Structure 1
Amino acid sequence: MKCTLELDAETSFIAMKVLPFKIPKSKNIALIYQEDKGAIFYDKLHQHEEIQICAIVKGEGTLVVGDTVNDYKSGDVLVIGSNLPHVFKSDVSSEKKSHMISLFFTKTSFGDAFFSLGDFSKIDTFFKLSNTGCTVLSHKKELLALFVSLKKASSFERFIIFLKIINLILKAETASLSTFVYQKKYTDNEGKRMSTIMDYTMNHFDSDIDLQSIADLANMTPNAFCRYFKQRTNKTYFQFLIEVKIEQACRLLKNQELLIAEISEKAGFKNISNFNRKFKEVKGITPTAFRRLH
């Protein structure tokens, strides 16, 4: 391993605003260590060549990976594959400040043949998991402790901890973060267009968004926009919009003081019957049943 790079939140945020689809790094870096702290994480759609393994120390919000809308919360450990488009949308209403620790690397970070050695044959499973991204369901406390220990570790110690993290993920239960991956890498212009669409949707899901307005935002005709979005996400724009609304509703349902009707309105639904129907379509249970479970 050559060296590591440590970035604070401000440095990484500024660099990623200039190059929204690149991980900021200098030459001769094999394993990139990054710690993000602040009110929010970097909340623009982006992709990077490096595989990202991250632990959410504090914070919660919505995570879009590929074609799927997920939530994230404190204690989560996530794997995001190479060039897999994703965006973290922090819940600004949460009192928890966002804090994430990440490691970035590629299959060739440590040499073209490193992960091809017989000693690392099991790691092929990890790379397959990373293709669609995954969230770790078990061994989370052990993994979080390893991530926290990275901060004061030397470059060599970080490499050892990195291998321990990979090993634990391979032993753990996992769930896929995405079901569809657009095979072509986004160009900068295309990335900016999709980022604009995602950013607008995540910030205005509770208002009326019609096809013409979102198509105008993308500088496309409505028909062209529909084809464009579905080719890249394997779903219609309005399917995606409903999932964003439902994910917001899931977070609100954890607040026992809010009525279901209030949550329906805050999530951007015009009437509670439509909210109940769409919620069950997406989550498989009613909002009331979801609230009981959580």
Structure 2
Amino acid sequence: MINSELFKEVSPLSSKDCFILIERQKSNFNFPIHIHPECELNYIENARGAQRIVGDSIEEIDEEELVLITNPRLEHAWMDHHNKPQSIHEITIQFHPDLLEENFLNKNQMISIRQLFRSAEKGVVFSREAITKVRPLLKTLTCENDSFYSLIKLLIILHELSVDKGMRELSSRLFVNTPEQKGNNNHKLNKIVEYVNQHYAETIRLSEVAEMVNMSEASFCRFIKQHTSKSFIDFLTDFRLGAAARALIDSSESIAEIGYNCGFNNLSNFNRIFKKKKGTTPTEFRDNYRKNKTII
């Protein structure tokens, strides 16, 4: 559920435009954690040490990075953090969610872009190789005068990014509300997710979940690995961490209470796993997130 106090950005993108490109040269980051209905592709150069916040993912960025977000409810921001004031180059492309309608995305030639948009509902960061490949196109897009060719270049960029084998999803599943997927396999996955969502505070045994979807344990493990790229234990842990991150931001419960309510058996275990997976302690995560949230 979206916190109603979260800053909602109003984009200059009009209903008659396919997309808008904003290029900035700046010395620091000063925009709060925010949400907006537009999809956003954000390229940042010369900002090593800055901090990226996407959902419950908080990471320090390198010299340059490229991130795509296609979820209107996914909170995000970039902060100065350890970045020293310098000439930061930022190219932001925002486009309407219906720029590429479902019927078009379902064509064979668009499969990889459709999958990219689905992954980007949790935010995705692209590999250095992919950035190197699309950087020239991004920079020529800033000075393209023909709007039609601008759109073609954007589609080429999205295609090149969609085949990036090194892209990585950022936010955890529970932190964002993504639409349910269709199909028999996805029906099983949705059933598993629904069960975990209802019982993550309890002890969940692999054998019980496998039986619920009429699969052997071995088949179930292969199914989870194929559809989430994780083992069931890692999937469950990440799910619990997503619930914990959401509670750390939206509730006033103690760290110990949140850990226990999210299925971690003791405080030290919760702190250790959270630090390992998120790169920060639960206390630091809560303080950092609240510090950067703007109330309006």
TM class, shorter-length:
0.5 to 0.7
Is it true that 1:38 corresponds to 2:38 in the alignment? no
Structure 1 residue runs of 5 or longer lacking an equivalent are 1-18, 186-216, 247-294
Report the equivalent of 1:281: none
Q: 2:142 aligns with which of 136, 144, 151?
A: 151
Report the equivalent of 1:134: 124
1:126-149 C-alpha deviation (Å, 9 max, x unpaired)? 112201111111222121111111
Report the equivalent of 2:42: 54
Tell me the SS of whatever aligns to 1:52.
Answer: strand
The within-5 A match list for 1:14-29 is 20-29=8-17
Report the equivalent of 2:172: 179
Tell me the SS of whatever aligns to 2:45.
Answer: strand
Runs of 4+ deviating beyond 4 Å: 220-223, 243-246
Report the equivalent of 2:237: none
Matches of 1:114 and 1:162, distance apart in 2: 16
Matches of 1:221 and 1:135, distance apart in 2: 31
**Aligned-pair CA distance for 1:108:** 1.0
**Aligned-pair CA distance for 1:109:** 2.0
**Aligned-pair CA distance for 1:65:** 0.7
Count, aligned residues = 195
Distance change (3 Å), C-alpha of 1:245 and 1:160? same
Report the equivalent of 1:124: 114
Q: 1:99 aligns with which of 73, 83, 89?
A: 89
Matches of 1:129 and 1:21, distance apart in 2: 22
Distance change (3 Å), C-alpha of 1:56 and 1:240? farther
State whether residues 28 and 86 of structure 2, in contact with CA within 8 Å, keep that contact through their aligned partners in structure 1: no
1:94-133 C-alpha deviation (Å, 9 max, x unpaired)? 1422221121123312556433344323322111220111
Report the equivalent of 2:209: none
Matches of 1:177 and 1:43, distance apart in 2: 20
Q: Which moved more, 1:172-181 or 1:111-120?
A: 111-120
State whether residues 82 and 106 of structure 1, in contact with CA within 8 Å, keep that contact through their aligned partners in structure 2: no
Q: 1:242 aligns with which of 260, 274, 284?
A: 284
Matches of 2:133 and 2:287, distance apart in 1: 33
Give the superposed CA RMSD.
3.8
Tell me the SS of whatever aligns to 1:114.
Answer: helix
Matches of 2:150 and 2:29, distance apart in 1: 23
Is it true that 1:64 corresponds to 2:53 in the alignment? yes
Tell me: higher relative CO, structure 1 or 2? Use CA pairs within 8 A at least 6 residues apart.
Answer: 2
Structure 2 residue runs of 5 or longer lacking an equivalent are 1-6, 179-248, 263-273, 289-296
1:34-69 C-alpha deviation (Å, 9 max, x unpaired)? 223212234301111222112112323001111111
Distance change (3 Å), C-alpha of 1:240 and 1:33? farther
Distance change (3 Å), C-alpha of 1:179 and 1:51? same
Distance change (3 Å), C-alpha of 1:125 and 1:222? closer
**Identity, % of aligned pairs?**
16
**Aligned-pair CA distance for 1:27:** 3.4
